[in-house]
Structure 1
Amino acid sequence: MIPQEIANTIVDPKAYAAEKPVDEAFAYLRKEMPIEQAQPEGFAPFWVITKHADILEVERQNELFHNGDLSTTLTPIDVDRKVRELMGGSPHLVRSLVQMDNPDHMAYRRLTQAWFLPQNLKKLESRIREIAKVFVDRMADMGGQCDFAKDIALYFPLHVIMETLGVPEADEPLMLKLTQELFGSADPELNRTGQEAPSFEDGLVAMQAVIGDFITYFNAMTEDRRANPREDLSSVIANGQIGGQPLDHFAAMSYYIIAATAGHDTTSNTTAAGLWALAERPGDFKRLKENPTLIPAFIDETIRWATPVKHFMRSATADAEVRGRKIAKGDWMMLCYPSGNRDEEVFDKPFEFRIDRAPNKQLAFGYGAHVCIGQHLAKLEMRLFWEEIFRRVESIELAGAPKNSVSNFVCGPKNVPVRYKMQ
């Protein structure tokens, strides 16, 4: 078994906020125990998958390793038991693409997949650039100093995905608040309880309330889009059919929730992390400003560097073997994306930020059947935003200590105070 101290570290939300403790834990595991079982306090035992190649091997075998049979995110025993009581035996409070396996996963994914293909995103490019310019203008209006994470990075991807969904701009603050409460349930500055360390019971009650607020909102949107369909993603979900039947209500609500949360939060985290890195590396900022052709490689490196989704869980549908270790049917497995993205066998000097890293086999979007459906939109948003930044901002530096959100699931910078000069 993995030593108890390390097992506790890799599930500790504060360790991910601090970064160093979890980086050191994963570095030890990659070297000494690349695949081993852990049993942190309060959790059922699970396998910890830390190497890049092994994460890909599990993800490419989506029939052998399921998303939906057990909880798809790290869940304490007491919470899992309570969720199953509430959900009629299911371990999931929502049932989005993330919690589905085939045949449902592919059927539901096909509903919106075309929206996110590169060729279809071209029609959105000019509008996304307009939005990017608005937010760079906002930086210009702020007098050379802002909290980049809180004032800019949070809102740019939010506005893009909400406009794509058809959510009115007036409702964006609500969507942001609910997203932060959902992903920041362990963060006292973001969670709904306001508690430093909410009990499992209080945290679950708060999570139910957040999901309930999302469902109330999107119920009304579904009724509207069925009566008055538009050219937006919400109309696709509201009027979609699987096997000639309307979407199951719970799955439809979950579809909205995943689009309205993961559709912007991870991009916000990555963008904020990228600027944080550049503010500490003025030479890199200057290189990108002088040579914008480096932007795509820089974006891949910020995605690797940030790895905003810290893990997903899988479970074995049959006895299996990974890196020579015997995984039994029903075993729970943790895919550790930050560890895979720091794997010394794949990335030269992985703890260095390199804007021209090539090749860059970052796996932050996942792999196989469950690869992130919105990855091309996220990269497009970031490319257009950085093009406008490097066109308009002359220089930038930190104006205080950045701070990450507290979470072991989705985590990234929540404060990046900076000073800058505009051209």
Structure 2
Amino acid sequence: MSVMTAADHRIPQEHANNLADPAAYADRRIHDTYRWLRKNEPFGVAEIEGVDPFWVATRHDDILEISRQNDLFHNGDRNPVLTSQAADRKVREMMGGSPHLLRTLIHMDAPDHLKYRLLTQAWFMPQNLKRLEDRVRVIARAAVERMAAKGGECDFVNEVALHYPLHVIMEILGVPESDEPRMLKLTQELFGATDPELGRKSADADKPMEERQMDFGVITDFFEYFRKLSEARRANPTDDLASAIANSQVDGNPISDLEAMSYYIIVATAGHDTTSSSTAGALWALAENPAELRKVKADLSLCAGLVDESIRWTTPVKTFMRTATADTQVRGRNVKQGDWLMLCYASGNRDEDVFDAPDTFQVDRKPNRHLAFGYGAHLCLGQHLAKMEMRILWEELIPRLESVEISGEPAMSQSFFVNGPKRLPIRFKMA
């Protein structure tokens, strides 16, 4: 990394440490840090022991501007997820110098990014998703019935929110329903590697957090599963996304094993985890704001607004990193070639200059220009599917939901990358 010349813009240590502390995202200290940074140092440098220094973008307009310039700010030159120096060294040793343990769309830049995105993009376009809408509604109704059968109390995360989008994406991918619990566990171990409850319990459990960021055993287990699925789909293709990935080609050649396995993993994890987080975040907010629930019950057309507001409110993907490819300026600060930048989406989504009363949950918020799906070339491939799933669930659940309240202690996962509710005990009445 280049030697930064921004000492005057160094972020106070307490706030810098919060940016890399998984617990700060669970107990919501991170929002205090974001609020301070937006006001006092919206584009400053974080220096944290054991981590290369990095710029931190917390304002909505800066995040948009950086995301728009995909040639100037790369995903793939370094790890697009904040990582420690120790973890970076270990991955480079394993991968022959590459900073990436996986090679998914989030690890790619032009021209590869578009080539690989086009392999599956049609599956997630609105016109093709329409043919899935009836099936998704059947799955949503089954989820509502399971909730109703709980007798008025449940953990909404673990008994409803996790399983509904999981079942949808696994059907699309072609994973048997009997394997869904395995996929859920591996996803939680991957995204929750730094969470003491969700992370894999292993011999490495006593290692420092920064060395447990990526559990290599979880990646290995994913690879073993999807390698068998890929072999089966190459031998006998079917009408599912796994067949499309298994038999895909780029520039006339089959994609590599690493790229195929990485593709399966990103679809099988991001394809449901972020949706379940936003779904749980929505019900949590509705339980704490019964007037907002009454609004939606009185006008179901607000379900679409509820979806967008819950995505803004929860912002499951908290951060992504970019690497400057040339000397440039951001907010008048000199960014050098090779500098690392953190995009704080959850901060941009509460930017006071963009959102009226940003810390208030409003189902009828308009406009709602949230950044939770990213922007530019890396705009989330599955955004339309996620919105459709959530909208349909609320259309089925809210007419029957007479009331809901928090009945215990909710909890957020401990992660500075992908984070959301991991426990939401509720008491409810159903019609």
Question: The TM-score by the shorter chain falls in which range?
Answer: over 0.9
How big is each residue's C-alpha offset from its partner over 1:306-341, in whole Å with a ceiling of 9 and x where there is no partner?
000010000001111111111100000000011100
The corresponding residue for 2:284 is: 276
Counterpart residue number, 1:386? 394
| Aligned residue in 1 for 2:16 | 7
Question: Is structure 2 residue 216 aligned with structure 1 residue 208?
Answer: yes
* Cα distance in structure 2, aligned partners of 1:347 and 1:225: 47
- Is residue 240 of structure 2 the alignment partner of residue 232 of structure 1? yes
Contact 2:84 2:211 (8 Å CA) reproduced: no
Amino acid paired to 1:10: L
Select which of 16, 19, 33 maps to 2:25: 16
**Number of residue equivalences:** 421
Contact persistence 2:104–2:262 (CA under 8 A): yes
Aligned residue identity for 2:65: E
- The residue type equivalent to 2:146 in the other structure is R
Letter in 1 for 2:53: P
> Is 1:249–2:257 an aligned residue pair?
yes
**Residue type matched to 1:16 in 2?**
Y
Deviation at 1:193, TM superposition (A): 2.4
What are the within-5 Å matches in structure 2 for residues 4-403 of structure 1?
4-19=13-28, 21-193=29-201, 198-199=207-208, 203=212, 207-403=215-411
Alpha-carbon separation, structure 2, partners of 1:239 and 1:350: 45
1:290-309 per-residue CA deviation (whole Å, 9 max, x = no partner) reads: 21011111111100000000
Quote the Cα distance in structure 1 between the aligned partners of 2:308 and 2:205: 34
Give 5+ residue unaligned stretches, structure 1: none
Flag structure 2 segments of 5+ consecutive residues without an equivalent. Answer: 1-9
Q: Is the 8 A contact 2:412 2:423 kept in 1?
A: yes
Query: Is the CA contact (8 Å cut-off) linking 2:83 and 2:210 kept in structure 1?
Result: no
Give, in angstroms, the shift of residue 202 of structure 1: 5.9
Write the letter of the residue equivalent to 2:114. Answer: M
1:202 to 1:114, Cα distance in 2 relative to 1, 3 A:
same
Code of the aligned partner of 2:13? Q
**TM-score of the aligned structures, taking structure 1 as reference length:** 0.98
Quote the Cα distance in structure 1 between the aligned partners of 2:257 and 2:322. Answer: 25
Cα distance in 2, alignment partners of residues 198 and 311 from structure 1? 24
Structure 1 range deviating more: 380-389 or 320-329: 320-329
Matches of 1:268 and 1:79, distance apart in 2: 28
Deviation at 1:210, TM superposition (A): 0.4
| Residues in 2 aligned to 1:393 and 1:3: alpha-carbon distance in whole angstroms | 46
Superimposed CA distance per residue, residues 131-177 of structure 1 (whole angstroms, 9 cap, x where no aligned partner): 00000000111111100011100000000000000000000000000
Q: Deviations over 1:218-239 (max 9, x none)?
A: 1001111011111100000000
Residues 70-122 of structure 1, C-alpha deviations (whole Å, 9 max, x = no match): 11101011111111111111111111000001111000000000000001000
2:11 aligned partner, one-letter code: I
Conservation of the 8 A alpha-carbon contact between 1:79 and 1:200: no
Q: Which moved more, 1:386-395 or 1:412-421?
A: 386-395
Counterpart amino acid of residue 258 in structure 2: F
**SS across alignment from 2:341:** strand
SS state of the match for residue 420, structure 1? strand
Report if the CA contact (8 A) 1:186-1:197 is conserved: no
**How far, CA to CA, are the matches of 2:163 and 2:16 in structure 1?**
35
CA distance in 2 between counterparts of 1:396 and 1:380 reads: 23
Pick closer, same or farther for the CA change 1:357–1:150 going to 2, 3 Å: same
Identity %, equivalent residues? 59
The TM-score with structure 2 as length reference comes to 0.96
Provide the rounded CA distance (Å) in 2 between the counterparts of 1:185 and 1:118.
Answer: 33
Give the C-alpha shift of residue 349 in structure 1: 1.0
State how far apart, in whole Å, the 1-side matches of 2:293 and 2:46 are.
41
Measured in 1, the distance between the counterparts of 2:399 and 2:357 equals 30
d(CA) in 1 for partners of 2:216, 2:393: 35
Residue 201 of structure 1 and its aligned partner are, at CA, apart by 7.7
Runs of 4+ in structure 1 off by over 3 angstroms are: 194-198
